[in-house]
Amino acid sequence: MRKTLEEVIQTWEPVIGLEIHTEITATRTKMFCGCQIAHGGEPNTRVCPVCLGMPGALPVPNEAAIEWTVLAGLATDCEIERVSQFHRKNYFYPDMPKNYQISQYDRPFCKDGHLTIEVDKEGLAQRLDRDLQAESYETRIGITRIHLEEDTGKMVHVGGSEGRIAGATHSLVDYNRAGTPLMELVSEPDIRTPEEARRFVQKLRLIWLTLGISDGNLENGSMRVDANISLRPRGATELGTRAEVKNMNSFKALHDAVAYEITRQAEVLEEGGRVVQETRHWDAGRKVTSSLRSKEEANDYRYFPEPDMVPFEFSEEFIAGVAARLPELPDARRRRFMSDYGLPASDATILTSDLELCAYYEAAAIGLDAELAKPLANLIVNDLVGALNTRSEELSESQVSPQAAAELVTLCDEGAISGKQAKEVFAEMVETGADPAAIIERKGLKQVSDSAELAGIIDGILAANPDKVEGYRAGKTGLMGFFVGQVMRQTGGQANPQVVNELLGERLGGERLGA
Amino acid sequence: MALTQEEVRHVALLARLKLADEQVATLQTELNSILGHIDQISQLDLAGVEPMVHAIPLVNSTREDVPVPGLDHERALANAPQRASDAILIPRIIGPEADA
Amino acid sequence: MMDARELLFLPATGISALVTSRELSAREVVDAACANIDACDERVHAFNQRSQDLAYTAADALDAKLAAGATPGDGLPDSGLVGAPVAFKDNMNLLGTRTTCSSRILSNYESVYDCTAVRRLLDAGTLPLGKLNMDEFAFGSSTENSAFGPTHNPWDLQRVPGGSSGGSAAAVAAGMASITLGSDTGGSIRQPGACCGVVALKPTYGRVSRYGCVAFASSLDQIGPFAHTVRDAALALRAIAGKDAFDATSVDTPVPDYTQALGADTAGLRVAVATDFLELDGVDPEVKAAVLDAAERLDALGAEVGECALPSTQYGLSAYYIVAPAEASGNLARFDGIRYGLRAEDATDVLDLYMRSRAEGFGPETIRRVMIGTYALSAGYYDAYYAQAQKARTVIKADFDRVFADFDLILAPTAPTPAFKLGEKTADPLSMYLSDVFTIPVNLAGNTGLHLPTKLSSAGLPLGVQLIANHFDEANIFRAAAALEADYRFDHRSVAGL
């Protein structure tokens, strides 16, 4: 019986490094030619002699793609290399027109960066070396390098099962994607748990989206994650043999694949076997990783400097110019939400980990009293997000405008409606998208807080029940409920209870009720 | 450095060249005579010398991110040995190729 | 009007003058060129493919403009080459022609775009006659490594035209075109120029765009012209040179009007004779004598003639036979039978398709070069070979820099011997490689070199000299070459073999 992850980590320490490929979708054209970038489209319609590897064609690097990569490096605290260049990585594959990939080798554009991730309570269970009582923990993951290369074309494998390469009789090649700028980030083996792996990629994706460098879509492959996983006995320092796991196209798949591979390797090792250094394929359906390789043949990529291009020398001015394009990054934004809006860390994290939600909150918060920032966050983080989940709606589809949300919070604060009524109003806002004031009006939910109006009603009731007034004054304070009930009946339940209590108190002999 | 026949076969696989046994033998002789001459370069003491990729002092040669018309679909596939409508048809992928 | 052969031995500028003055129509030029090709090429085999349809189309368009009153600079390019018949080495793409690189693997490959240099020469008003034979993928010095059979030297059909641009040199020598383009990676323009007795220029690396010329060694390749006269070569370079947005290694230093240098006097021009080249074993005495004779003539013409040594260039051949095959092994990987070119029959899988398409499609020398290059880059050998060769380039260039600190030009032999016999060196690759020992260092250092024919050997074969200049100093080469040309009056009409 295979052990669970929690059991495995009692004896083994997982060591995980990630390689993350991101298609730069922010450029208009491909990495080395002027063909336009887009997903889909008729096969082989966005191609030219360069990206088809036609005889005599030459690559010319896209300056925008290089600037985006430098920006990505600056956003992840990387060193930007002052001198860098492209290399050729030589291997034959049908989706790679030149049978070498123009990539970078010993002189990448960016190196030695890092990212700090926050893992919350459920993630704690996967680590022994952390305070399990803590609410969450932060950990810093090193970034070895970020380099730029060209993407390959796409193949459709025909004749096999569900389009897999194994068992296929032939394949069809489409080069539309060939030459798309592809940024590869390599992390240090600083990751210890499946949850950390997931958080790292989520954080990275959020940064890419904040920069606008890519659509960061894991499902369609704009972002591709490979995980290098090995185990070592707790306390050991040298690394064990690693396996590389591919084909995780969602955050859940990444988490589950890493967790599976850890338990698989533990089983192999505990049965006295050895982990084979190989590439394994995550099968999301069967929830297992399986070996991709018929036999393990060491690759010999024969890297050498790309002679069709000249080196790059980045001046301080150039780097400063790119740095000037840096927007507010997620960490800074989260700190600002805590300091400027006075939000608790949990709310700030939720609001800033989704760009749409973040923009929604800021739009709603404009011109709102400072003390309402928190109630607004509660409304959005709890009620709105909750409603979206139950209706499985995107925020963009929601009928509740930021202004309407802010208005509801304000009305509630002014006492125009009670908190209970607010929930009722919000439910209808979600349904109809109507303005809160209008809903309150139509439902006649308006709360009567006007003391003069209430005083009149109360005096009438006291005059009509002199005996009860007597009884109360004689000490039957329980009669207070009767008076309040009368007021509520006459006001259709809309009297502001607080005001009613105060007025009755004054008239029935000044004693503060409940005193 | 003299090439063994085993190395000749390995290099031929890297270069994706199918060699007949007699070719392997001939190439072994020819390559070793050429390498014999080339090896004199190892006599040069080049410690501390910068390797040269290009003779001309040119850096930062890039292009603007501006679309340029590509190849019309038919012309792009005009030379394709085997087509399936709008894609290029190739045989199945197995062995080392499936590992790439 | 003069006969076809006579016409084609006029300089391109001469033909252009007749056409633009309308004494001769462009169509008549194409007629004459085709007549010469019909008469000679069966024996010479310079052409892989003829494109007279393209030539006549261009000629008729030109004649129409002339009829409408257009003149050079006014409706016509002011190139000095309007109406000149031209042809291109078969590694340069031209829409409407195949680009085969004289290889089986590309024997049916139809160009899908135009090579920049080809396009620029045609935009100068020239008429394209076809594509010229070469050593397969430019691997060779005799044009015997062609899948379509060798080209013969017009001066002696039993001899090679040199290579790899043998067809380009032979076509001009035989009067089948007045200007042709070739490519030079280690001497592939200058050495055939020497064998065939025509003016042949390898420009500075980066001077001419490589876009559309099938790459051999990307850091060494350069396109250049063959012509009967120095002026024709200068005008051809002016037409094709300059920055190209499609070649990141092309340089945007302005292109001077090289004709200014023609006829300028050579007084004070500092010329260094590469004496250590002359002392090398295997240098034919007549080749050596030709260089020394040219030195004397330059001295008599007022140049300051001295001597220089290029000690590191002795390692040029080794460095070249590492760098060039290494880059070629990558550049030729794309010929795999997938997207274009020869595809092996009934391949069982992609690996089988690769292995057999390439083995069946490549000739023996191509297989040798790809093997050497792959080996030199493979794990464990990179530092000993490729890295070491790149460092050797640095010290070789330093040799040239030292000389050019004191001199404007280096005078050297182009090849160790005049044209050798067909089959003489095919058995021994290494002896073939030695044909380029004097041209290779120039490519490694990125400099420019020109072969100028000066006289005939006792055996009636062309002799000449190589003039080498620093980066982007083609003007000084033209200046000295034009002076020597006027002094020698080499008679290319006396081409004996035909």
Q: What pLDDT, on the 0 to 100 scale, is given for residue B100? A: 41
What domains can you pick out in chain C, each with its CATH number?
Answer: 4-273+408-494 (3.90.1300.10)
By three-state DSSP, how is residue B87 classified?
Answer: strand
Active-site residue, from C164, C165, C168, C178: C164
Task: Indicate whether A113 and A188 sit together in one domain.
Answer: yes
CB contact under 8 A, C113 and A90: no
Can you tell me which residue has the tokens 């394709």? B80
Q: Strands A243-248, A279-283: parallel, antiparallel or unpaired by DSSP?
A: parallel
Q: Which of A135-139, C130-134, C261-265, C424-428 has the highest mean pLDDT?
A: C130-134
Range from A119-133, B73-87, C216-230, C333-347 carrying the lowest mean pLDDT = A119-133
Task: Indicate whether A314 and A336 sit together in one domain.
Answer: no
CB contact under 8 A, C430 and B34: yes
- Among B7, B79, B97, select the one facing C350 at the smallest CB separation: B97
> Distance of CA C296 to CAs C273, C290, C291, C299, Å?
10, 10, 9, 5
User: Which residues, in sequence order, are CB contacts of C481 under 8 Å at separation 6+?
Assistant: C199, C230, C450, C452, C467
Range from A47-56, A472-481, C39-48, C267-276 carrying the lowest mean pLDDT = A472-481
pLDDT at A75 over 70: yes
A324 lies in some domain: no
Give the residues across from C433 on adjacent strands.
none
Q: Of the candidates C53, C358, C51, C36, which has an alpha carbon nearest to the alpha carbon of residue C172?
A: C36
A225 lies in some domain: yes
- State the average pLDDT for chain A: 91
Range from A44-53, A134-143, C140-149, C183-192 carrying the lowest mean pLDDT = A134-143
CB A357 within 8 A of CB A343: no
- Among A47, A66, A293, select the one facing B62 at the smallest CB separation: A66
DSSP C257-290: -GGGGTT---TT-EEEEEHHHHTSTT--HHHHHH
Task: Indicate whether A348 and A266 sit together in one domain.
Answer: no
To the nearest whole angstrom, how far is the Cα of B70 from the nearest Cα of chain A? 4
Does the active-site annotation cover C391? no
Q: Which residue of B lies nearest to A279 if distances are taken between CA atoms?
A: B99
pLDDT at C371 over 90: yes
Q: In the listed set A443, A475, A493, which residue is the last one of a domain according to the structure?
A: A443
pLDDT class of C484 with cuts at 50, 70, 90: very high
Exposure string of C61-76, with b = 16+ CB inside 10 Å and e = fewer, is ebbebbeeeeebeeeb
Q: Please state the rounded mean pLDDT for residues C265-274.
A: 96
User: Most C CBs within 10 Å: which of B19, B59, B79, B89, as the mutation test of the C interface?
Assistant: B79
Active-site residue, from C25, C51, C79, C89: C89
Q: What pLDDT, on the 0 to 100 scale, is given for residue A38? A: 85
Q: What is the DSSP letter of A3?
A: P
Question: What is the C-alpha to C-alpha distance for residues A37 and A59, in angstroms, rounded to an integer?
Answer: 16
- Among B1, B58, B91, select the one facing C206 at the smallest CB separation: B58
Residue range A331-376, pLDDT digits in tens? 999 999 999 999 999 899 999 999 999 999 999 999 898 899 999 9
User: Which residues, in sequence order, are CB contacts of B63 under 8 Å at separation 6+?
Assistant: A34, A60, A61, A62, A63, C245, C248
Q: Can you count the helices (H) and strands (E) in chain C?
A: 17, 13
A54 lies in some domain: yes
CB C176 within 8 A of CB C8: yes
Can you tell me which residue has the tokens 């690559």? A59
Say whether residue C341 is in contact with chain B using an 8 A CB cutoff.
yes
CB C462 within 8 A of CB C194: yes
Exposure string of A97-132, with b = 16+ CB inside 10 Å and e = fewer, is bbbbbbbbbebbbbbebebebbbeeebbebbeebee
CB C350 within 8 A of CB B93: yes
Task: Indicate whether A264 and A348 sit together in one domain.
Answer: no
Backbone angles phi, psi at A42, to 5 degrees: -60, 135
pLDDT at B85 over 90: no
Q: Where are the alpha helices (DSSP H) in B15-80?
A: 21-38, 73-77
To the nearest whole angstrom, how far is the Cα of C175 from the nearest Cα of chain A? 28
Please report the residues numbered 126 through 165 in chain A whose beta carbons come closer than 8 angstroms to any beta carbon of chain B: 156-157, 159, 165
pLDDT class of B98 with cuts at 50, 70, 90: low
Amino acid letter, residue A440: I
Amino acid letter, residue A92: F
To the nearest whole angstrom, how far is the Cα of A175 from the nearest Cα of chain C? 10
CB C121 within 8 A of CB C96: no
CB C401 within 8 A of CB C312: no
Task: Indicate whether A232 and A293 sit together in one domain.
Answer: yes
- Among B19, B39, B56, select the one facing C205 at the smallest CB separation: B56
Q: What pLDDT, on the 0 to 100 scale, is given for residue A513? A: 43
Question: What is the C-alpha to C-alpha distance for residues B38 and C135, in angstroms, rounded to an integer?
Answer: 22
A515 lies in some domain: no
Can you tell me which residue has the tokens 């533990």? A266
Helix axes A345-352, A330-340, angle to 10 degrees: 140
- Among B64, B67, B88, select the one facing A173 at the smallest CB separation: B88
Task: Indicate whether A364 and A467 sit together in one domain.
Answer: no
CB A126 within 8 A of CB A9: yes
pLDDT at C58 over 70: yes
Which H or E element spans position A205?
helix A194-211
Q: In the listed set A443, A463, A479, which residue is the last one of a domain according to the structure?
A: A443
Q: Assign 3-state DSSP to chain B and report helix, strand, coil percentages, each to 5.
A: 40, 10, 50
Look at chain C and count its residues.
498
Asked whether the ipTM of the predicted complex exceeds the cut of 0.95, the reply is yes
Task: Indicate whether A209 and A271 sit together in one domain.
Answer: yes
Of residues C393 and A437, the one with the higher pLDDT is C393
By three-state DSSP, how is residue C433 classified?
Answer: helix
Does the active-site annotation cover C494? no
Does the active-site annotation cover C164? yes
Say whether residue C338 is in contact with chain A using an 8 A CB cutoff.
yes
Task: Indicate whether A373 and A434 sit together in one domain.
Answer: yes
Helix axes A194-211, A63-75, angle to 10 degrees: 130
Q: Domain count of chain A?
A: 3
By three-state DSSP, how is residue A438 classified?
Answer: helix
Please report the residues numbered 158 through 197 in chain C whose beta carbons come closer than 8 angstroms to any beta carbon of chain A: none
Question: What is the C-alpha to C-alpha distance for residues A354 and A337, in angstroms, rounded to an integer?
Answer: 13
pLDDT at B58 over 60: yes
Using a CB-CB distance cutoff of 8 angstroms, which residues of chain B are in contact with residue A64? 64-65
A514 lies in some domain: no
Structure tokens, C64: 């129409």
Q: Of the candidates C47, C145, C58, C45, which has an alpha carbon nearest to the alpha carbon of residue C95?
A: C58
Residue range A434-487, pLDDT digits in tens? 999 888 888 877 777 777 888 888 888 988 988 988 888 888 888 888 888 888
A323 lies in some domain: no
Range from A439-453, B32-46, C95-109, C248-262 carrying the lowest mean pLDDT = A439-453
Can you tell me which residue has the tokens 């930021």? A402
> Distance of CA C3 to CAs C25, C35, C82, Å?
14, 10, 20
Task: Indicate whether A145 and A205 sit together in one domain.
Answer: yes
Say whether residue C214 is in contact with chain A using an 8 A CB cutoff.
yes
Degrees to nearest 5, angle at CA C303 with C299 and C305: 65
Q: How many CB atoms lie within 10 A of CB C306?
A: 16
pLDDT at A510 over 70: no
Please report the residues numbered 86 through 105 in chain C whose beta carbons come closer than 8 angstroms to any beta carbon of chain B: none
Q: In the listed set A296, A318, A340, which residue is the last one of a domain according to the structure?
A: A318
Look at chain B and count its residues.
100
Residue range C283-314, pLDDT digits in tens? 999 999 999 999 999 999 999 999 999 999 99
Please report the residues numbered 69 through 98 in chain A whose beta carbons come closer than 8 angstroms to any beta carbon of chain B: 85, 91-94
User: Most A CBs within 10 Å: which of C101, C377, C394, as the mutation test of the A interface?
Assistant: C377
> Distance of CA C179 to CAs A431, C155, C230, C435, Å?
80, 18, 11, 24
Q: Please state the rounded mean pLDDT for residues B23-51.
A: 93
Q: Which class for A274: exposed (0-12), middle (13-18), buried (19 or more C-beta within 10 A)? A: exposed
pLDDT at A294 over 50: no
pLDDT class of A508 with cuts at 50, 70, 90: confident
Cis peptide before A230 (omega within 30 of 0): no
A325 lies in some domain: no
> Distance of CA A441 to CAs A420, A434, A438, Å?
16, 11, 5
- State the average pLDDT for chain C: 97
A273 lies in some domain: yes
Question: What is the C-alpha to C-alpha distance for residues A14 and A193, in angstroms, rounded to an integer?
Answer: 7
Beta strands (DSSP E) in A42-164 are: 79-80, 83-84, 87-90, 100-103, 110-120, 136-150, 154-158
Exposure string of C89-125, with b = 16+ CB inside 10 Å and e = fewer, is bbbbbbeebbbbbbbbbbbebebbbbbbbbbbbbebb
Q: What pLDDT, on the 0 to 100 scale, is given for residue A512? A: 44
Task: Indicate whether A86 and A180 sit together in one domain.
Answer: yes
Task: Indicate whether A123 and A259 sit together in one domain.
Answer: yes
Range from A493-507, C71-85, C382-396 carrying the lowest mean pLDDT = A493-507
Question: What is the C-alpha to C-alpha distance for residues C466 and C472, in angstroms, rounded to an integer?
Answer: 16
Q: Residue A273's domain spans which residues?
A: 5-318
- Among C213, C246, C374, select the one facing A302 at the smallest CB separation: C374
Q: Strands A12-23, A223-233: parallel, antiparallel or unpaired by DSSP?
A: antiparallel
Question: What is the C-alpha to C-alpha distance for residues A426 and A408, in angstroms, rounded to an integer?
Answer: 8
Q: How many CB atoms lie within 10 A of CB A438?
A: 14
First CA to last CA distance, chain A: 66
Q: Of the candidates C104, C117, C56, which has an alpha carbon nearest to the alpha carbon of residue C241?
A: C117
User: Which residues, in sequence order, are CB contacts of C110 under 8 Å at separation 6+?
Assistant: B78, B79, C97, C98, C99
pLDDT class of A297 with cuts at 50, 70, 90: low
CB contact under 8 A, B82 and C343: yes
Give the residues across from A233 on adjacent strands.
A12
CB C211 within 8 A of CB C247: yes
pLDDT class of B95 with cuts at 50, 70, 90: low
Task: Indicate whether A162 and A291 sit together in one domain.
Answer: yes
* Residue A467, domain CATH: 1.10.10.410
Q: Which residue of C lies nearest to A169 if distances are taken between CA atoms?
A: C349
Structure tokens, A483: 């008076």
To the nearest whole angstrom, how far is the Cα of A178 from the nearest Cα of chain B? 13
